[in-house]
Amino acid sequence: MIGFSLRLAVAGGREAITRLVVIAAAVAIGVAMLATTVAGVNAVTAQTARYEWLTPPDTGGPLLWEARNDYYHGEGLGRIDVAVTGPGAPVPPGLARLPGPGEYFVSPAMQRLLRTAPADQFGDRFPGHEVGLIGHAALPAPDSLAIVVGHRPDELAKAPDVRKVSAFNSTTSIGLSAAGFDLVLAVVAAGLLFPILMLIGTATRLSAARREERFAAMRLIGATPRQITLIATVEAAVSATVGTAVGFALFYALRSTFARIPFTGRRFFTSDLSLGFLGAAAVAIGIPVAAALVARLALRRVNISPLGVTRRVTPKPPGAWRLIPVAIGLAELAYFIPVERRPHTSLGQVAAFLPGCLITMAGLVIAGPWLTMVASRVLARRAGRPAALIAARRLADNPKAAFRAVSGLILALFVASVAVGIITTIVDHRGAPTTGGAATNVRQVEPPPGPIPAGLSSIPGVQKVVTVFQAPEPRPAISGGSLPGWTPDGLVRCADIAGRPDFGRCEPGAQVAAVFDNLVGPTDKVKDIVWPTAEIDPDQLGALQPYSLVVGTDGSADAIERARTVLITAYPNSDLLPGTEAEWDADFARTLTGWKQLANVIIVSSMVLAGCSLAVSVVGGLTDRKRPFSMLRLTGVQLGALRRVVALETAVPLLSAAVVAVAVGFFTAHLFLLAQMHYSLRPPGPSYLLIVAAGLLVSLGIVASTFPLLRRVTGPETARNE
């Protein structure tokens, strides 16, 4: 029977071969993207795991360890200072040995930077000489900037945040415990899995109506339901198996290209973008099995009543109950808005929010036929031309099949709305990261800075050097200012910040102001800040503990880097290395950029998958309906009218459901933001409108591209009986 099924799969001539090729191609695209998704999740896990060694536990071991962030031209780099105090000191991953005093190991990207950057702007920060490279096992990304510097124990023991390490954390246990990985997994699963399954399901149903007729005829001449099911399953499994093999070949051919895309803000090592045995097995087995199940489910009407299929009984119209799953999904998200109901762990949050999103997505697919039926009735009432009446009648006859053609795009619009709504709101509430910055700051310097480093003020571009002092206890009374509810714990002479709007300003007549250690307030409009007046004699400030040193520059990169190098050299034991506000904001910006990259990947991928699904659905629909369309042409219906019928059959369910999908997507994002961050949704910018408009225009373009096929498949010869 299997051999007969294989022969029958290709017995239909060019049409059968074309169908198998189209199914295999669609499955190949889905498999390649699904494999990339699984491999991307594994790559994020591996990348996250290689950050683990930077924060070893303080266990009183023989290795002194201090990890800090440094910057060069706005690019962050990791600096690790180490010193050995006794035997048995552990060696971090990626290093052949521990560096001794005056030695350091560097990453390949760091080595290139040290060789090209001016020494007085960068290299002078690191005492000693290079003795080797940090290996692949310790680097999160190929372009990671990292350095491990060796010191004497008495030097590093003075550092305020030094740890005593006896072992490094294992990187094999990070997996699902990493919050970032959990979020990536949740977003990718919800954003890409549904469109991929929709594409594969659509492809396997290609020419479903004509195949149902043939299978029904076979049932009428004595074939059993089991035999029909086996024939359809073998046919679907063969094309799905071929498509799966091609999809794996595409994935491995393009893997190095995918690795260069900074999905998380950093590139991946190609070896990290791997499926693993379980992932490869799940994709290789799951896709053909899913295709076979879809083919089997498509034959329900044939197995139940072959005469019903042959006579084309109109299915029962969908009911309004199909809206219930959407309501359940939204209600599940709304349940966690109160703080006491929200889980505190990352796994708990994924378990709380992901089901609601998935139920809502499934609910949109379930509710789509009912929305299509409602839209068809509206179209019928407002129709003024035959094409609109025919389209409305066909939509009302089988709204489920009509919606199936556009369901992938509806899900893509939902995913785009959720992703863009969340990212836009976070950026709007937290403030878009600044790109400028005229101050290089150092905080909590130990020992106290004492005199300002020699030569700092003479650096070209350095305009002012200000010392911020720690307020004594009891703190002096403060009054006035533009920061109600805030109590800064630093003090500065008003004369020192005069003429620098980026440092804020004092009230008229004030001599000492209460300020924050970095001379930046809780707003991005620093020049509008009026610092509170502190009731203390300016002459007493010299006897107080210095809090921080703020260097005002002209904003040029050379001035900032030279000043930073002087400060690091003068105060090597500061627990926070000098940085500009723009650079500290950039750390948050890079995080947002990573999520934006991920959101863009999901949006684009969903649109591509949805476009492929739509193309397959439209072509398959024309193939299934070529006889009735041919009969219409024989009765005098113009080809232009048939084109309008095809366009309306796609545009009406697409546009009506798109409005609902976008609205539900924004509401889903609003509920998530309220529950997770207590933010209210902020409307997205023009870029989102462009994405939606482009997606809809491409969809309509796909429909229009099938019009030449309509002429070929509706000729008079097609109207014959089979």
At 449 the pLDDT is 56
- pLDDT band of residue 63 (cuts 50, 70, 90) is very high
Pair 44, 91 in one domain: no
Please check the confidence at residue 466 and state whether its pLDDT lies above 50. yes
Most confident of 279-283, 401-405, 468-472, 590-594: 468-472
Pair 497, 603 in one domain: no
Q: CB–CB of 590/176 below 8 Å?
A: no
Please check the confidence at residue 299 and state whether its pLDDT lies above 50. yes
Minimum mean pLDDT range among 271-275, 294-298, 475-479, 559-563 = 294-298
Please check the confidence at residue 611 and state whether its pLDDT lies above 90. no
Pair 108, 204 in one domain: no
Once rounded to an integer, what is the mean pLDDT over residues 181-194?
55
At 576 the pLDDT is 79
Q: Does residue 272 form part of some domain?
A: yes
pTM attached to this predicted model: 0.68
CA-based diameter of the chain, in Å?
A: 108
Task: Give the separation between CA 192 and CA 673, rounded to whole angstroms.
Answer: 21
Domain total for the chain?
Answer: 4
Please check the confidence at residue 364 and state whether its pLDDT lies above 60. yes
- As a whole number of Å, the end-to-end CA separation of the chain is 25
Please check the confidence at residue 712 and state whether its pLDDT lies above 80. no
Q: CB–CB of 141/47 below 8 Å?
A: yes
- pLDDT band of residue 327 (cuts 50, 70, 90) is very high
Please check the confidence at residue 249 and state whether its pLDDT lies above 80. yes
Q: CB–CB of 533/480 below 8 Å?
A: yes
Task: Give the separation between CA 499 and CA 501, rounded to whole angstroms.
Answer: 6
Shortest CA distance to 393 belongs to which of 652, 617, 615?
A: 652
Listing from the earlier edge strand, what are the strands of the sheet with 512-515?
Answer: 478-479, 533-534, 512-515, 490-493, 462-470, 546-553, 439-443, 576-579
Give the Cβ contact number of residue 225 at 10 Å: 14
> In sequence order, what are the residues at sequence separation of 6 or more whose Cβ sits closer than 8 angstroms to the Cβ of residue 496?
464, 466, 467
Please check the confidence at residue 588 and state whether its pLDDT lies above 50. yes
Q: What size, in residues, is the chain?
A: 722
Once rounded to an integer, what is the mean pLDDT over residues 52-72?
88
Task: Give the separation between CA 4 and CA 232, rounded to whole angstroms.
Answer: 11
Percent of the chain predicted with pLDDT > 90: 19
Distances (CA, A) of 217 to 230, 295, 413: 16, 17, 40
Pair 196, 72 in one domain: no
Once rounded to an integer, what is the mean pLDDT over residues 573-596?
70
At 443 the pLDDT is 41
Beta-bridge partner residues of 478: 534
Mean pLDDT, the chain, whole residue set: 79
Pair 85, 233 in one domain: no
Pair 567, 670 in one domain: no
Type of residue at 702? I
Per the rule left: phi > 0, alpha: psi between -120 and 50, beta: everything else, 640 is alpha
Once rounded to an integer, what is the mean pLDDT over residues 212-236?
72
Most confident of 123-127, 256-260, 650-654: 123-127
Pair 42, 188 in one domain: yes
Shortest CA distance to 159 belongs to which of 51, 79, 73?
A: 79
Domain that holds residue 514: 439-579
Shortest CA distance to 654 belongs to which of 703, 716, 605?
A: 703
> ∠ CA 160-162-164 to the nearest 5 degrees?
145
* Bigger pLDDT: 419 vs 329: 329
Task: Give the separation between CA 394 and CA 396, rounded to whole angstroms.
Answer: 5
Percent of the chain predicted with pLDDT > 70: 77
Beta-bridge partner residues of 164: 64
Pair 276, 400 in one domain: no
Once rounded to an integer, what is the mean pLDDT over residues 22-32?
80
- pLDDT band of residue 296 (cuts 50, 70, 90) is low
Last residue of a domain, one of 289, 313, 337: 313
At 308 the pLDDT is 53
Last residue of a domain, one of 538, 560, 579: 579
The 10s digit of each residue's pLDDT in 674-703 is 887 788 888 887 777 887 787 788 878 877
DSSP one-letter string for 154-180 = HHHTT-TT-EEES-PPPTTS-GGG-HH
* Bigger pLDDT: 343 vs 534: 534
At 145 the pLDDT is 92
Pair 152, 184 in one domain: no
Please check the confidence at residue 415 and state whether its pLDDT lies above 70. yes
Most confident of 185-189, 640-644, 660-664: 660-664
Q: CB–CB of 481/533 below 8 Å?
A: yes
Once rounded to an integer, what is the mean pLDDT over residues 77-106?
93
Pair 454, 490 in one domain: yes
Minimum mean pLDDT range among 152-161, 196-205, 435-444 = 435-444
Q: CB–CB of 54/145 below 8 Å?
A: no
Q: Does residue 354 form part of some domain?
A: no
At 630 the pLDDT is 81
At 465 the pLDDT is 87
Q: Does residue 36 form part of some domain?
A: yes
At 500 the pLDDT is 84
Q: Does residue 667 form part of some domain?
A: yes
At 631 the pLDDT is 80
Last residue of a domain, one of 136, 170, 204: 170
Distances (CA, A) of 327 to 189, 324, 350, 352, 477: 21, 5, 20, 16, 55
**Hey, what are 17's tokens?**
């071969």
Q: Does residue 78 form part of some domain?
A: yes
Please check the confidence at residue 183 and state whether its pLDDT lies above 70. no
Give 505's DSSP letter.
Answer: B
Minimum mean pLDDT range among 306-310, 511-515, 560-564, 617-621 = 306-310
Pair 327, 309 in one domain: no
* Bigger pLDDT: 204 vs 95: 95
Distances (CA, A) of 316 to 313, 319, 399, 621, 678: 9, 9, 10, 20, 44
Q: Does residue 471 form part of some domain?
A: yes
Task: Give the separation between CA 469 and CA 519, rounded to whole angstroms.
Answer: 11
Pair 444, 569 in one domain: yes
Task: Give the separation between CA 605 and CA 595, rounded to whole angstroms.
Answer: 15
Most confident of 95-104, 132-141, 256-265, 278-287: 95-104
Q: Does residue 353 form part of some domain?
A: no
Minimum mean pLDDT range among 64-73, 299-308, 608-617 = 299-308
The 10s digit of each residue's pLDDT in 189-215 is 555 666 666 766 666 666 555 666 666
For 506, list phi and psi in degrees, rounded to 5.
-90, 165
At 243 the pLDDT is 87
Task: Give the separation between CA 20 and CA 211, rounded to whole angstroms.
Answer: 13
Minimum mean pLDDT range among 4-8, 87-91, 565-569, 612-616 = 4-8
Distances (CA, A) of 456 to 33, 551, 571: 54, 9, 13
At 179 the pLDDT is 46
